[in-house]
Amino acid sequence: MKTSVNGIPMLFLLLILLLRLIPKITSVNDTLTTTQSIKDGETMISADGSFELGFFSPSNPSKRYLGIWYKKTSNQTVVWVANREVPLINTSGVLEVIKPGLLVLRSYTNNIIIWSSNSSASVPNPVAQLLETGNLVVKDAHQDNPEMFLWQSFDYPTDTFLPGMKLGSNFATGLEVYISSWKSNEDPAPGEYTYYLDTNGYPQGFLKNGSVLVYRTGPWNGLEFSGIPSLRINPIFSYEFVINNTEIYYTYKQLTSTIIKFTLSPIGAGQCWIWENQSMNWLVYPCLSTDNCDRYGLCGEYGSCNIGNSATCGCLDKFSPKYPDKWANGDWSNGCIRRVSLDCRRGDGFVKYSGLKLPDTYNSSYNSSIYLEECRRVCLKNCSCTAYSSLDISIGGGESGCLLWFGDLIDMKVISDAGQDIYIRMASSESENFTPFLHGSDGKKGKLLVIILTLLLVMLLSALGFMFYLQRRKKKLPKQKKEEMPGQILNMAYTDNHHKKELDLPLFQLSRIIKATNNFSFDKKLGEGGFGPVYKGVLEEGQEVAVKRLSEYSKQGFVEFKNEVICIAKLQHRNLVKLLGYCIERKEKILIYEYMPNKSLDFFIFDQTRKKSLDWLTCFHIIQGVARGLLYLHQDSRLRIIHRDLKASNILLDADMNPKISDFGTARSFGGNETEANTSQVVGTHGYISPEYAVDGLFSIKSDVFSFGVILLEIVSGKRNRGFSHHGHNHNLIGHAWKLYKEGRAVEIVDCHLLGSPSYSLDVLRAIHVGLLCVQKCPEDRPNMSSVVFMLGNEGHLPEAKQPGFFTERYVVLNDKNSSNTPASSSSNGEITITLLEAR
Ligand SMILES: *[C@@H]1O[C@H](CO)[C@@H](O)[C@H](O)[C@H]1NC(C)=O
Ligand SMILES: *[C@@H]1O[C@H](CO)[C@@H](O)[C@H](O)[C@H]1NC(C)=O
Ligand SMILES: *[C@@H]1O[C@H](CO)[C@@H](O)[C@H](O)[C@H]1NC(C)=O
Ligand SMILES: *[C@@H]1O[C@H](CO)[C@@H](O)[C@H](O)[C@H]1NC(C)=O
Ligand SMILES: *[C@@H]1O[C@H](CO)[C@@H](O)[C@H](O)[C@H]1NC(C)=O
Ligand SMILES: *[C@@H]1O[C@H](CO)[C@@H](O)[C@H](O)[C@H]1NC(C)=O
Ligand SMILES: *[C@@H]1O[C@H](CO)[C@@H](O)[C@H](O)[C@H]1NC(C)=O
Ligand SMILES: *[C@@H]1O[C@H](CO)[C@@H](O)[C@H](O)[C@H]1NC(C)=O
Ligand SMILES: *[C@@H]1O[C@H](CO)[C@@H](O)[C@H](O)[C@H]1NC(C)=O
Ligand SMILES: *[C@@H]1O[C@H](CO)[C@@H](O)[C@H](O)[C@H]1NC(C)=O
């Protein structure tokens, strides 16, 4: 009896001893006290193991830096560096906390201090702690109030803006928090670029290259920065902007457990990073919008840039170029001037401009306690006030607060639909004030008259414009080849002679293409796309290319052609097919793409033998790739694109089976916040088209999501949605999958060769579930692509899928009203591209 009683405490003692010994050998826990230290090779880990602090070398092993990185991501992703500029040259570094409250990094061999935190305050018992947020703080051992930290790394960020950091200024302490890029990927020293919150006037985010302002986010409008509307809808993080007398800052927090961060790359790209658990990789996408229109002050004063017009500048309405000659030559820097100059004493008025990124607020003032109407009066009273707008569009019907501009207005950009309203001061004869009706007591009548007058004016102006255009065209034609160039109409509203310059894409000579394709020989033909044949070509240098020759009779006229060229030239993503160049010569319109040796997805998944070469991992890789490509199309901030004709034959596969989305002839760019549009021309493919689009002509990003869902189900089942038959019912593939899913037998739609595949797993069921969510009948129920990418890449609860749209085969009578005019409506592989045109 005695021995057994004694044995247990002995074991406990041993265990406790062991537990006490382990931390001492390897590392301290998340807290470093004055009696401990961290040597090179040792690390400190935050309480739940999210972050780790220690020594690292970005490349050259003889340069050691003290830094913080994620513990949970597989690659060492550094988020903070202490001794950015002064690396240790060997492993003699040691980090300590010393009284009265300093963090010191020194070399223990010669005791030289390499780096130290600085704070003038002192506490009796200082410790350093690595918090779960990635913040390294110095504080008193018994103090957890963030206000009482002596020092924190969040106040001195490097190139990474982490959730919870406050980017901005504190006027009480004089602290300004900003991020600065690394010099290069190998050198954490401060590089050329800084991103900070400028607090002159109403605050806005500035990106500088050295001392040159290159980009501006626009002022905060209560929901987002005026120039980055795409960030508003976001399931992963939310923002907060605080402005009061003591501090002005901008912060964000994560809404899920997903690891996210924002960084400024050495070449000045603002990037959002999302860690994907499933693929163990970072999903990186640009999140400061940086299209050509975002170059600071590109169009000069009172100019506005429109990316939809190949990033060309236009003058705001009622303004004209200051130097018309320079302007016509593409030198927009001098901007525009008023047609009628202001006369403050005789009374000015205001003209409302909509859909803009608000101009630079450097010379502005604001008052959040008044409303728009009052704001107008305040601005009118001060002769140097040039414009006003509301401050916070999220409250008070969008008319809350007052933002006033003084001096000339610069750096505006068209953001159709998501942009904001601004009221610009105008001479009374140019402004609405001039119309006496507005001030009359009979407001309604007055408004009606104004509308009629405006309409008449618009008609007159467009008639004049058209005549002007015709005249110009006549003058131009003799110089050019005698050819119809209907595409010029596209640019009529803007200067049309610059788009070629902006179109940064090689122009191929026809002779070169004829040589490459052996004069479009039949045996080089790869297939027939919606708009004409595609050939394989070999350029002189030996590079293989795919040559898409637009059929002369193709419905894809010059407009669609240019649409595709401009569209793809601006889009670069590993899951989108790459355009190498184009050719317009004689009657030929030709696109040159990178060559895809593995043809298209339908070539594999619907072929009994070839499909066997695809195991589940490859299939999943393809599904994820398509999802990412589509996410890029939908959410990239430069051009938001709806593909409109996504199908298995439009997913091309490169040598490594990476999927690439192709065929943008029908794609539509849509404005920042615009997610839906109506069209009289329905373009799409039977079997992939969503109900609301086929029936009502209503297309949105959710129509693409539907098509994606169909493709996903086709990959998993190895069967075409269209033409699917089953003896038990007359549902199509979607309907069949839905039926089985409801009965808990979803696994039965999985193609047998995948079931046998060694890598097959529960992921397949999850993918089917996601596919069914995408094809739900109501567009609002379908997830957006960022959620799809997220759901595919992570575990977690998925919502129940509701009834899909178009689940029986005979769903709609597609009525091709002028079929004789649409020779492009059929294609070679038995799929029908539907082109519905309203009779005109
Ligand atoms: C970490 O170490 C400090 C000091 O050694 C100790 O007070 C604290 O309780 C430890 N925390 C944990 C979670 O072990
Ligand atoms: C992670 O590290 C491996 C090996 O160093 C590298 O091949 C891979 O590209 C890295 N991944 C990322 C996302 O940096
Ligand atoms: C590390 O480098 C320092 C010079 O910075 C030198 O004095 C010291 O001897 C070196 N220590 C070791 C272990 O090489
Ligand atoms: C701390 O150091 C930073 C630069 O490393 C400096 O800008 C700041 O003024 C210093 N603060 C104090 C209180 O000395
Ligand atoms: C940034 O500035 C440097 C030096 O002024 C210049 O060489 C570089 O081209 C600039 N980068 C960009 C992207 O403008
Ligand atoms: C400023 O806002 C912050 C955050 O909301 C708040 O903590 C602080 O007390 C405010 N300061 C003043 C002077 O209102
Ligand atoms: C990702 O994986 C980590 C560790 O494997 C886990 O802690 C975390 O909860 C996962 N996140 C999600 C969103 O699944
Ligand atoms: C602000 O006003 C000053 C003085 O009038 C002027 O020099 C400067 O260009 C203005 N800045 C902006 C961005 O409008
Ligand atoms: C804002 O406007 C109100 C009403 O006109 C005025 O009382 C207040 O002083 C203004 N605030 C500022 C900061 O100008
Ligand atoms: C107009 O506003 C500017 C900027 O706020 C100010 O400096 C100036 O004194 C004002 N002028 C008048 C007449 O109120």
Token pair recorded at residue 218: 């626009």
* Any atom of ligand 10 within 6 Å of the Cβ of 406: yes
- What lies within 8 Å, CB to CB, of 130 at 6+ separation is 30, 44, 45, 46, 51, 52, 53, 68, 136
- Per-residue pLDDT at 311 exceeds 60: no
247 - beta bridge partners? Answer: 170
- pLDDT grade, residue 716 (50/70/90)? very high
The predicted-structure confidence for 571-586, as pLDDT tens digits, reads as follows 778 898 888 888 887 7
Average pLDDT, the chain: 78
Q: With residue 140 as reference, give the H or E element that holds it.
A: strand 136-140
- Per-residue pLDDT at 695 exceeds 70: no
* Any atom of ligand 6 within 6 Å of the Cβ of 170: no
* Any atom of ligand 7 within 6 Å of the Cβ of 428: no
Give the span between the Cα atoms of 770 and 796, in whole angstroms. Answer: 12
E runs forming strands in 447-594: 525-529, 532-538, 544-549, 579-585, 588-594
- Per-residue pLDDT at 489 exceeds 50: no
Return the pLDDT at 144: 80
In the chain, the domains with their CATH numbers are 23-154 (2.90.10.10), 157-290 (no CATH), 298-430 (no CATH), 484-594 (3.30.200.20), 601-835 (1.10.510.10)
Return the pLDDT at 836: 29
- Per-residue pLDDT at 12 exceeds 50: no
Strand 126-130 relative to strand 136-140, pairing: antiparallel
- Per-residue pLDDT at 457 exceeds 70: no
- Per-residue pLDDT at 54 exceeds 80: yes
Mean pLDDT of 103-129: 89
- pLDDT grade, residue 811 (50/70/90)? very low
- Per-residue pLDDT at 101 exceeds 50: yes
The predicted-structure confidence for 195-246, as pLDDT tens digits, reads as follows 999 999 999 999 999 999 999 999 998 888 888 876 554 567 788 899 999 9
Ligand nearest to the CA of 24: 1
Return the pLDDT at 520: 86
Higher pLDDT: 306 or 838? It is: 306
Mean pLDDT of 614-631: 90
E runs forming strands in 236-363: 237-243, 247-254, 260-264, 270-276, 281-286, 303-306, 312-315, 319-321, 336-338, 348-357
Question: Residue 621, Cα to own-chain centre: how many angstroms?
Answer: 22
Give the span between the Cα atoms of 643 and 668, in whole angstroms. Answer: 7
Question: Of 60-74, 199-213, 356-370, 455-469, where does mean pLDDT reach its minimum?
Answer: 455-469
* Phi and psi based region of residue 210 (left: phi greater than 0; alpha: psi -120 to 50; beta: remaining): left
Mean pLDDT of 98-104: 90
φ, ψ of residue 775 to 5 degrees: the values are -100, 15
Atom of ligand 7 nearest to the CA of 795: 14
* Any atom of ligand 5 within 6 Å of the Cβ of 674: no
Measured in angstroms, how far is the CA atom of residue 379 from the centroid of ligand 10?
Answer: 10
* Phi and psi based region of residue 474 (left: phi greater than 0; alpha: psi -120 to 50; beta: remaining): alpha
Mean pLDDT of 438-449: 40
Pocket residues for ligand 9 (CB within 6 Å)? Answer: 367, 369-370
Measured in angstroms, how far is the CA atom of residue 193 from the centroid of ligand 5?
Answer: 9
SS (H, E, C) 326-388: HHHCCCCCCCEEECCCCCCCCCEEEEEEEEEECCCCCCEEEEEEEEHHHHHHHHHHCCCEEEE
Q: With residue 6 as reference, give the H or E element that holds it.
A: helix 2-26
SS (H, E, C) 762-812: CHHHHHHHHHHHHCECCHHHCCCHHHHHHHHHCCCCCCCCCCECCCECCCC
Residue to mutate (ligand 2; options 75, 186, 282, 285; most atoms within 8 A of CB) = 75
Ligand nearest to the CA of 382: 10
Pocket residues for ligand 4 (CB within 6 Å)? Answer: 118, 120
Return the pLDDT at 205: 94
The answer, yes or no, to whether the previous bond of 758 is cis (omega within 30 of 0) is: no
- The residue whose CA has the least distance to atom 14 of ligand 6 is 244
The predicted-structure confidence for 522-544, as pLDDT tens digits, reads as follows 888 887 765 678 889 998 888 89
Higher pLDDT: 611 or 425? It is: 425
Active site residues: 645
Give the span between the Cα atoms of 136 and 114, in whole angstroms. Answer: 18
Give the span between the Cα atoms of 774 and 706, in whole angstroms. Answer: 5
